[in-house]
Structure 1
């Protein structure tokens, strides 16, 4: 197998591990890819546990998050067959390449839209760019790079995506490439239109609202509201019935909690997440409560001078044990919150 082939296989395994709740393999009655109706002319499209959306109008289709080249091409073929309408807009939830890649298949007919902070997130930092504050926590030898045995999950993921031997190290530029770059997941088409606070996309008598609620899972996250369908699409930052992903990734705390509070002020009934099943507005309240208790518990431990392990052992969050991935992700959630809050002080 070629080096590129090995890397593609590695990425597939990494993405499966990243998104799986009960495993990557589809059951016989669950197709790997499918389109399901949410309400009216609003649909979800899914590949394993990555989910995007589209809205059909008389004048064309609005797609949200093309996800990756293979899924985007499959979606284009399905849309052509089912509706015979061109994709006129592609909206990005944020710039992470496992949601934003693949839009080039719609480039002939579509205008691309995203938050203004996508502009800097899609600019690759130089090789000597400094590590981010949380990444500096892992740099035990202080050389400005991350060795494999120093880093956490997403730093280690960069080794495999970039094909870097585990005896080497990764830079800030390498870590960026694994999250935003085009190396293996295909091209991220930059937005043609950027917005700052709020924007409405109108097509064929239907509208889609984009709302920016501040820092959260990323600094460029759009909440996509379909007002007529009373549905929001939120990605990575809010997943009904489930704990946040592993060690909270490269996120912002306590701002993420405040981001969720802003989501809760919008007028909607249905939550369509970028992973997992649809929920309701009541699920937003549960997520807010979870983040409040997580942040308060970890902050209290830090203020009391407890170590990371002592905080992990005491911030049990047992009132959320009914949520998906509690047994697997409670510990990394606490560890991630500790690292993020500690790095804020540096």
Structure 2
């Protein structure tokens, strides 16, 4: 019995050693989370929004082809899925135009792929200038700038396709200095890019942002005849009342900041001094982005 007991003890010890060694190994890295699929949402007849993978994409159908607004984050898989979804919506009609609402890569990321497919890309002239200043972010040093538009404009530009008019409007620097509001007059809908969002606004001062300009641009937007506004981020269109409320928050934010600066609050204490609970919740690192606090303080000092 002793040899058997010894062998059993040895086997148990070996098993325990293997288990302890396994426990000592670092856990295997978790598999990256799969990107959620894009979601198609009807807005009005012949008008859709596609949500996910960056900024919202707007799809306008006509009898002669499709007009898109914004092309999402860069990437072949995102591009392929987006084109596939547009084909599903349109019944295979060709994409003729892509409109950039501003230069950020979550809205212009696939410009080059669309251009290579023969699509005309249109953007405000300052957008092209901002893309020319592109520098890779520290967390993605190999990133390259999105392709610039084929067609640029200053204040207004009309796309006419299949008997429909899509009007591009640039009012004043707002979210960036190259923003475009896309107006579908026959449907009474606008696509606003990040001049309207369901989340906190991105004050891109390095890209030419201006809160006072933003407020003024929304004044002009509200003069147009529309009843739904497709935001740059958010899973549904906004109403006129929601746009008025968004503009009101911008006005309140700038007013409060100016009050604090006038009272002598220094730049490094400005954010903490502002009452935020009835406005937006910003990411803790938001104000540490290069140039953002400097630009905000400078505007509040005017």
Q: Which of residues 200, 209, 226 in structure 2 aligns to 1:243?
A: 200
Q: 1:330 and 1:290 mapped to 2: Cα distance?
A: 19
User: What residue number does 2:248 align with?
Assistant: 289
CA, structure 1 residues 253+337, in 2 after alignment: closer, same or farther (shift >3 Å)?
farther
Q: Contact 1:260–1:288 (CA<8 Å) still a contact in 2? A: yes
Q: 1:159 and 1:274 mapped to 2: Cα distance?
A: 25
User: What residue number does 2:127 align with?
Assistant: 118
CA, structure 1 residues 159+310, in 2 after alignment: closer, same or farther (shift >3 Å)?
closer
Q: 1:280 and 1:341 mapped to 2: Cα distance?
A: 28
Q: 2:245 and 2:294 mapped to 1: Cα distance?
A: 23
Say whether residues 1:71 and 2:78 are aligned partners. yes
Q: Contact 2:111–2:148 (CA<8 Å) still a contact in 1? A: no
CA, structure 1 residues 189+311, in 2 after alignment: closer, same or farther (shift >3 Å)?
closer
Question: Deviation digits for residues 166-196 of structure 1, max 9, x if unmatched?
Answer: xxxxxxxxxxxx7xx43xxxxx332222111
Question: Deviation digits for residues 57-99 of structure 1, max 9, x if unmatched?
Answer: 1111111111233322212223335512111111111121221
User: What residue number does 1:90 align with?
Assistant: 98
TM-score normalized by the length of structure 2: 0.76
User: What residue number does 1:342 align with?
Assistant: 297
Q: Which runs of 5+ in 1 are unaligned?
A: 1-12, 14-23, 128-156, 164-177, 183-187, 321-325
Q: 2:288 and 2:110 mapped to 1: Cα distance?
A: 34
CA, structure 1 residues 339+209, in 2 after alignment: closer, same or farther (shift >3 Å)?
same
Aligned partner of residue 148 in structure 2, secondary structure:
coil
Question: Deviation digits for residues 119-149 of structure 1, max 9, x if unmatched?
Answer: 3222247x9xxxxxxxxxxxxxxxxxxxxxx
Q: Which of residues 130, 133, 138 in structure 2 aligns to 1:159?
A: 138
The 5 Å alignment of 1:298-313 reads 298-308=257-267, 310-313=269-272
Q: Contact 1:44–1:54 (CA<8 Å) still a contact in 2? A: yes
Q: 1:290 and 1:74 mapped to 2: Cα distance?
A: 36
Question: Deviation digits for residues 91-128 of structure 1, max 9, x if unmatched?
Answer: 11112122112133333332221111123222247x9x
After TM superposition, give the deviation of residue 314 of structure 1 in Å: 3.7
Q: 1:313 and 1:79 mapped to 2: Cα distance?
A: 45
User: What residue number does 1:106 align with?
Assistant: 114
**CA-atom RMSD, angstroms?**
3.1
Question: Deviation digits for residues 292-338 of structure 1, max 9, x if unmatched?
Answer: 11111111111111134654344214444xxxxx3445995799875
Q: 1:104 and 1:274 mapped to 2: Cα distance?
A: 20
Say whether residues 1:270 and 2:258 are aligned partners. no
Greater C-alpha radius of gyration: 2
The 5 Å alignment of 1:34-53 reads 34-48=39-53, 50-53=55-58
Q: Contact 2:189–2:229 (CA<8 Å) still a contact in 1? A: yes
Q: Contact 1:34–1:46 (CA<8 Å) still a contact in 2? A: yes
User: What residue number does 2:150 align with?
Assistant: 192
User: What residue number does 1:153 align with?
Assistant: none
Aligned partner of residue 159 in structure 1, secondary structure:
coil
Aligned partner of residue 138 in structure 2, secondary structure:
helix
Q: Which runs of 5+ in 2 are unaligned?
A: 1-31
Q: Which has the higher contact order (CA 8 A, sep 6+)?
A: 1
Aligned partner of residue 215 in structure 2, secondary structure:
helix
